[in-house]
Each structure stands twice: as C-alpha cells, then as structure tokens.
Structure 1
Amino acid sequence: MADLKCAVENCSYNEQHLCSKGDIMVGGQKACCCGETCCESFTQRREGTDSFKSSVVHPSKTISIDCEAVKCMYNSNYKCHADHVDIKGCGACDCRGTECATFTEK
C-alpha cells in the first residue's frame, strides 16, 4: 500500500487529492520516464453524474497500486512498493493525459 496523492482533479475517483477507487493500475510497460506512464484507472468526471456516488465509497490516503512499468525501481512483481506516489494530469481527458510522477527508472 502506498500513500497516494492524486492531482488529476477531473478524475471521477479523485476526492480532495485522494483516490476513492480502492486500487489503481499504472500503465507503461516500456516506460523509461514519468511521461511514458499513465493511470489506467482514470475515468473522466462528468458534470452531474458524479454527485450521486455510492455512500460506501470513501477516499483513502493509502491505496494498492498494480504497476506495469517494469523498469521502475518501485515495481516488484507488478506491484508498486513506493512509500509515496504522486499521480499528475491537469486537464486529462483520458488516461494518456495522466502520469505517475513517482516513476524512477532502475
């Protein structure tokens, strides 16, 4: 479990920079830098539809992160083992507009 800060404000799972999904997938199997990664769990927030979220879904500071970025030093068996993870993507319309800013090449 990693301490996650999400700066992708237009993601439907983002609640005050925390993720309410429960777990995420970071993509970028061939990534050599942050810009070649993405949060594959990103879902764009749609006006009006996200105001009716389930009352049992709560944002969490710690989250399980599956990771395809095998060249990242924090990746072990497709799981992220970083203590803290930053996901960025101001104005993202799809997952390609996001990135794992914590990615560090081995």
Structure 2
Amino acid sequence: MSSVIRPTQTPSPVPVAGAWRALLAWLGEGAWMLAALVLAVALVAFFVLVVELPTIEGSFGDALTTPVNLARIAVLASAAWLWSYIHRAIRQVPARAGRPRVPPVD
C-alpha cells in the first residue's frame, strides 16, 4: 500500500456554474436584442428624416411613431437579432478540418 495522502473529494459546483452560465447567456442575448433594436430604430429614423419627413406635415416624433414605422422597427429588429443569432450559432460549431467532407463508401 502506498503512503500517498489523497485529498478528499469536494462537492462539485456544477449547478452553480450551470446557473451562472445560463444567466450570462441570457444577458448576452438581451444585449444582442438591445443592439438590434437600436440599429432598427436608427435605420427607420434615418429613413423618416430623409424620405418621409419632407413629404408629411408634423414633427419627427409623430412620423417615427406611426404604425407603419413601428412595424418596420419591429421587423428590422427581429431580422437583425435572428441574423446575429444564426451567425453566433454557426461560429460555435467546431471546424471540420480533421473530418472528411464525404462519408467513406463501403
């Protein structure tokens, strides 16, 4: 028998680490969604200033909050967030450098 002293096993903090990882992922998605919303509002605001405002009577705020422009903001924000989500999902997949592209034929 060896005289090596082995440390006792300590409980693993896996549940806490998993919860922390989930919280960080949730906050990250919220940040991406906020960035998509800011981008959508900026694009629609630019469109309103350049195209719509000279042709309508009223203020910039009234033109930006019309139902059609709110729908544009919602659609653009959703599309930008979905695009960023797909981009992040593709980048998380490991590279296929060591694997063959075509399965071997028997």
More relative contact order, 1 or 2 (CA 8 Å, 6+ apart): 1
Q: Which has the higher helix share?
A: 2
TM-score between both structures, scaled by the size of structure 1: 0.21
Q: Which has the higher strand share?
A: 1
TM-score between both structures, scaled by the size of structure 2: 0.21
Instruction: Point out the structure with max Rg over C-alpha.
Output: 2
